[in-house]
Structure 1
C-alpha cells in the first residue's frame, strides 16, 4: 500500500517523535506505512499527494491567530497552504489534529481566535447528528471524553464545513470538509500517558501553570477518556489505505 504522510510542526524532537509514535500506535499502521516530514525544519519540497494514501497534520506550538509570527511560522503556514490547496482540489484524505483545525479553518475563510481556548485536560464531547452518520465516528459513543489543550479555537465554521463533534466550552471540536477532509480540536492520538508526556514537554509554553503539572497528570490518569476515541485514527487508516 501507499504510505500515509504525517506533517509535523513541533520544534521539539521529543514532541515530534512522540507524535509519530502515538499516531502509529492508534492508527495501527506499521513504521514503514507512515512517512513523517517535520515542516518546521526546512521548506517543504514539492509533494505529489497521489504518492500517499492520505495526509495527517499534527499539532504544534503555532497558532493561526498569533498577532506576531516568526519567519519560521510564516513559512510553515505558507507551505501548509500549498498542501491544503492540493487536498481540496482532489479531495485528498486528510486528518488534521488540533493545530490542523485552525489551519484548515483559516485557509477556508472561517474565524479562529482565542474565544474558546481550553486548558489542558479531559473534556466531555458529543457527536452531532452528522457525526452519527460519519464513517470515522462509527465506533465512538454518542458522548465521550478526550484530551484537549489549546489557546485558540474555531469561532465561526468555514462555509461548507459539516460539524461532527461539539462541546460546551469549545463548540467546534471536529468537522469535515468535502467528503474526505477531517479536522479535530481534541486529540484522538493521545491517551493519558501520551498526554502527560506532551504536557511535560510544553509545561512552560503557556497552556497551564508549570507548578500544576503533577496535579494535571493525576487528573489525566483518573480521567475516563474513551478508548473508542482512538478509533478515529484507525478508521482513517483502514478507510483510506490504498
Structure 2
C-alpha cells in the first residue's frame, strides 16, 4: 500500500518526498535498491521516500496517484521482462500498471528517474519496442555521455565517461517520442535518455553499488551466467569503480528536491 506523504523533514523543512515505485517482489534486492537510493540521494528513509508496490493488488492504480505530492518519482528495476511469453497474473497486473504510470509521467513531464525495466516501460508506453541481441550480463561497462548531455541539468554534472552495472536481456532500440540520448555504451547503445524536460531513464543501474552487486550475483544464480563462472563474475564486478554511475541518483535528487 502507498503511505501517506509526510510533511517536510528535518533536513529540508517543507520538502516533498520522492515516490519510489517498486516493480519487483520484496526481498534482499528490493531492500538494497531502496537503501542505495536513500543513501545516494541524501534522503531520510522515513520522511523523504514513499513506497508503492505495483505488485500489491491493494495499492492505488497509477491513474489515481497525485504526483503533485512528490518532488519526483523513481521506477525500479524488475525480474519480470516485457518479452516473457508465460506471464503470471501478478506479472500482468504490474505490467499494466507500470505502463499506465509511465505514460502519465511523460504526459505530465513529472521529474522521473526510471531504472532499467523502468526505462523500458517508458519506451513501450510511448509506442516504442524492445530489441533482442543487445542484452548485457552482470558487468560494469563504460558509459559515455553524448554531446547533448552537456546541456542537461542532471547529465552535465556527471563524468564524461564512467562505469555502471548492467544486467538485462532486452534493450531499448531507438527511443520513441522526443527522446534525447544522453549516454551510450559500446555494445548496448541506448544507456541514458531524457523525455521532455524532466523524465530520465537509464538502461544501466545507478542504484547498484559494489556490495549491492554481490547481492544480485547471489540472487540470480546462473540466470545471467553459467554457475561455474560465479567467481569470475564477482571478480570483474568487484574490480569496477561505479561511483560515477551511482552519482546520477545524487544529481537527480539535487535537481528536483522541492
Task: Give TM-score, length-normalised by structure 1.
Answer: 0.94
Equivalent in the alignment of 1:44: 59
Equivalent in the alignment of 1:216: 233
Instruction: Please give the alpha-carbon distance, in whole angstroms, between the structure 1 residues aligned to 2:90 and 2:21.
Output: 15
Equivalent in the alignment of 1:166: 184
Moved more, 130-139 or 96-105: 130-139
Cα-to-partner distance string for 1:130-168 (whole Å, 9 max, x where unaligned)? 112212123322121111011110122112111000011
Q: How many residues were matched structurally?
A: 240
Instruction: Please give the alpha-carbon distance, in whole angstroms, between the structure 2 residues aligned to 1:96 and 1:164.
Output: 14
For residue 153 of structure 2, the aligned residue among 135, 148, 154 is 135
Equivalent in the alignment of 2:4: none
For residue 231 of structure 1, the aligned residue among 232, 247, 257 is 247
Q: 1:138 to 1:156 in 2, by over 3 A?
A: closer
Shift in Å, 1:39: 1.6
Equivalent in the alignment of 2:144: 126
> Unpaired runs of 5+ in structure 2?
1-14
CA RMSD in angstroms, aligned pairs only: 1.5
Equivalent in the alignment of 2:106: 88
CA contact (8 A) 1:123 1:145 kept: yes
Shift in Å, 1:184: 0.1
Instruction: Please give the alpha-carbon distance, in whole angstroms, between the structure 2 residues aligned to 1:107 and 1:26.
Output: 28
Instruction: Please give the alpha-carbon distance, in whole angstroms, between the structure 2 residues aligned to 1:44 and 1:84.
Output: 16
Shift in Å, 1:99: 0.7
Q: Which runs of 4+ in 1 moved over 4 A?
A: none
Give the match's secondary structure for 1:201.
helix
CA contact (8 A) 1:146 1:187 kept: yes
Is 1:3 equivalent to 2:20 in the alignment? no
Cα-to-partner distance string for 1:77-115 (whole Å, 9 max, x where unaligned)? 111222223212321111101111111111111120222
Cα-to-partner distance string for 1:206-229 (whole Å, 9 max, x where unaligned)? 22223322221121111233x232
For residue 34 of structure 1, the aligned residue among 49, 53, 62 is 49
Greater fraction strand: 1
Instruction: Please give the alpha-carbon distance, in whole angstroms, between the structure 2 residues aligned to 1:165 and 1:66.
Output: 27
Is 1:103 equivalent to 2:159 in the alignment? no
Task: Give TM-score, length-normalised by structure 2.
Answer: 0.88
CA contact (8 A) 1:43 1:76 kept: no
Instruction: Please give the alpha-carbon distance, in whole angstroms, between the structure 2 residues aligned to 1:214 and 1:42.
Output: 39
Cα-to-partner distance string for 1:9-45 (whole Å, 9 max, x where unaligned)? 2214211111110111111111120112222232530
Moved more, 19-28 or 7-16: 7-16
Equivalent in the alignment of 2:10: none
CA contact (8 A) 1:94 1:180 kept: yes
Shift in Å, 1:195: 1.2
